[in-house]
Amino acid sequence: MNLSKEFYEGRKLENLVENQTSYTLNNASLHIFETHKQAERVLLKFDKPVLASMLKGKKIMHLRDQQSFNFLPGESLILPSDEMMCIDFPEAQFNNPTQCLAMAISEDKISKVLDHMNELMPKVDEGEWSLMDYDFHFTNDIGIYQILQRLLFLFTEDHPSKDLFVDNMLEELIIRILQTNSRKIYTEKSSRLSSGNRLAYIVEYIRKNLHNPLAVKNLSKKACMSESNFYRVFKNELGISPIDFINNERIKLAVSLLQNPNKSIKEVYQECGFESRSYFNRVFKSRKRVAPGDYQSKLNVRA
């Protein structure tokens, strides 16, 4: 993500560690933090739920009840209000600063979005949508990336209607983050949840049968839903279509199989359930930005 020309023209560099430039609107505040020298154990806390997203450089995050982890560009972190962050900056330099955005969103705005989701897109078996009450670290998908890039522009733009523009973008951002969180829960806990949740059962079935044909029609029957309702419910809760989810899981498996230099590309795509090499190549490249053969070759060079 790129910071706008308006940001650089308006910001003042007053501190070398976590220099803060802030923009406040009705339902959210955007803070851009820049660190221009190495530092350790820097403390930061917000009084509202916050989305932190790395723009440039590297942080090491220390959060309560969690092991420390690297926080890198393209990744985001959701934190509840009053959560203390302890941060190291191992690579920051004056001419190559670490940059991160932190967006504090009003709890009233979040509650209204949750009410809207529960009314118009209720969960199938798992109660109501609610704000996660733990630290959620994830990689931005293309939808979230584009929203954050747009919000960076809107907050720094001098426009009389930007409160309205930002409000609309915040609603989509909150929905997409909750769907991303739901997708993570279903993927990581599908086995435990599958006995009492139809979507968890389907996710578990998909992951155990990636090598077999997986048609939406057959999956909807296993979920005891019509095909159209299954598709709608799946996309509402997980944020992606069943086919995209299946392909994502197959590509995860392919990445694992490609670690073996003795595996042929044909063996890999057949074990992952792809019907042809051309389709496998297209799906793999769309997600990894490189052809599977080139990906495997690079792994072997590094090894």
Amino acid, single-letter form, for residue 215: A
pLDDT by 10-residue block (mean), the chain, 303 residues = 83 93 95 96 92 96 87 94 93 95 94 93 83 81 94 92 95 94 88 86 95 95 95 94 96 94 93 94 93 87 58
By the 10 Å C-beta count (0-12 exposed, 13-18 middle, 19+ buried), 179 is classed as buried
Query: In Å, what is the CA distance from 133 to each residue of 49, 54, 82, 176, 178?
Result: 10, 21, 12, 17, 12
- Structural domain boundaries, residue 35: 5-182
Q: Is residue 189 part of a domain?
A: no
Mark whether 33 and 172 lie in a shared domain. yes
For 66-80, letters b (16+ CB in 10 Å) and e give: eeeeebeeebbbbbb
Mark whether 159 and 220 lie in a shared domain. no
- The pLDDT of residue 126: 62
Q: Is residue 212 part of a domain?
A: yes
What is the side-by-side order of every strand in the sheet holding 28-35?
Answer: 19-24, 28-35, 98-105, 50-56, 75-79, 136-139
Mark whether 166 and 83 lie in a shared domain. yes
- CATH no. for residue 37? 2.60.120.280
Mark whether 158 and 287 lie in a shared domain. no
Mark whether 26 and 157 lie in a shared domain. yes
- The pLDDT of residue 133: 60
Mark whether 219 and 303 lie in a shared domain. yes
Q: Is residue 39 part of a domain?
A: yes
* CA 303/CA 284 separation, integer angstroms: 21
Q: Is residue 163 part of a domain?
A: yes
Mark whether 239 and 153 lie in a shared domain. no
- The pLDDT of residue 239: 94
Amino acid, single-letter form, for residue 246: I
Mark whether 287 and 151 lie in a shared domain. no
Domain boundary among 142, 162, 182: 182
Q: Residue 286: how many CB atoms within 10 A of its CB?
A: 10
- The pLDDT of residue 302: 59
Q: Is residue 31 part of a domain?
A: yes
Q: Is residue 159 part of a domain?
A: yes
Q: Is residue 188 part of a domain?
A: no
Domain boundary among 182, 213, 242: 182
- CATH no. for residue 262? 1.10.10.60
Structure-block tokens of residue 154: 């809107």
Q: Is residue 299 part of a domain?
A: yes
Integer distance in angstroms from the first to the last C-alpha of the chain?
31
Question: Could you please report the per-residue DSSP string of 89-153?
Answer: ESS-BTTB-EEEEEEEE-HHHHHHHHHHHHHHS--SSS-------S-EEEE--HHHHHHHHHHHH
Please state the domain count of the chain. Answer: 2
- The pLDDT of residue 247: 96
Mark whether 140 and 201 lie in a shared domain. no
Mark whether 156 and 35 lie in a shared domain. yes
By the 10 Å C-beta count (0-12 exposed, 13-18 middle, 19+ buried), 199 is classed as buried
What secondary structure letter does DSSP report for 283? H
- The pLDDT of residue 234: 95
Chain length of the chain? 303
Query: In Å, what is the CA distance from 108 to each residue of 1, 27, 49, 101, 154?
Result: 28, 8, 11, 21, 21
Mark whether 45 and 178 lie in a shared domain. yes
Mark whether 86 and 111 lie in a shared domain. yes
- The pLDDT of residue 130: 86
- The pLDDT of residue 196: 82
Q: Residue 155: how many CB atoms within 10 A of its CB?
A: 26
